[in-house]
Amino acid sequence: MNFLVTNDDGIFSEGLRSLVDAALRLGHRVTVVAPHSQCSANSQHITLTHPLLVHQVPWEGVERAYSVEGTPADCVRVAPSLTSERFDYCLSGINRGENAGSAVYYSGTVAAAREAAMMYIPAMAVSIRVGSDESMRQKVADIAVRAAEKFQGVELPRFSIININAPAIPVAEWKEMVVCPLSRAYYVDGYEKRQSPLGQTYLWLAANDTSGVPMEMAEEGSDYAYLLSGHVTCTFLGAFVDHNAAFADRMQGIGL
């Protein structure tokens, strides 16, 4: 398979290299197009008002590797302009930190995969909880590449992607993969008010980087709950969901 590999942690992140190494080790071709710098929580942001600078990066075993001074979604959008070959699959990750539950709406990793799906490139987002080591990253990378192999030629619903998350515990303690729904738990972080040396007030996001951003309690059976209990999780993220049937009648009589 011909893989496009991207992420939101930047071209030199450990997770990206683990994912590329796994694809190469399993006999696939790889093109890397990733952000020049850290772009976490960029979601589906694309650049409209200035040029996207592209830098070629030497990478042994990789046919082409580029860093882009743009967002994860930008990287996927420009990738076809950097090669004449069609990609069979897009792997986005491995993100440093889980992308489960409501995180999927902020994640640049998930957004890059979704951007690929919008461009008719089958795609998967891959993440692991904070605190992982190389053995853990290699394990989830192998899982991701083998899953992509199994889904080669399988058409998911429009704009849909596969979202895989892994725990950051010794691989021998990992529990089997579970296909599960997104948690509805939301963040319970906040902002610290500080003052600069010039007396200007600024706000800084208060989060514990060693264990991730604090969340509400995850519902039993959700991706976050399974992940916290040591499972690898998989969610098939869809699109085009609405709640019209439940609420359309309340709009009656409001027309022009």
What are 54-79's pLDDT values in tens digits? 999 999 999 899 999 999 999 999 99
Q: What is the pLDDT of residues 9-40, one digit of tens each?
A: 999 999 999 999 999 999 999 999 999 999 99
Say if residue 230 is in the same domain as residue 154.
yes
Indicate if 192 and 81 belong to the same structural domain. Answer: no
Number of helices followed by number of strands (H, E) in the chain: 6, 11
Element (H, E) at 79: none
Structure confidence by residue, pLDDT tens digits, 141-181:
999 999 999 999 999 999 999 999 999 999 999 999 999 99
Strand-pair partners of 35: 68
One domain for residues 107 and 209: no
Cα angle for residues 215, 219, 220 (degrees, 5° grid):
135
Q: Are residues 120 and 198 in the same domain?
A: no
- 201: CB partners within 8 A, 6+ apart: 193, 194, 195
Range of the domain at 163: 2-183+219-240
Sign of CA dihedral 166, 171, 174, 178: positive
Same domain assignment for residues 43 and 96: yes
The domain tally of the chain equals 2
Say if residue 94 is preceded by a cis peptide, omega within 30 of 0. yes
- Angle at the Cα of 149 (from 143 to 150), degrees rounded to 5? 90
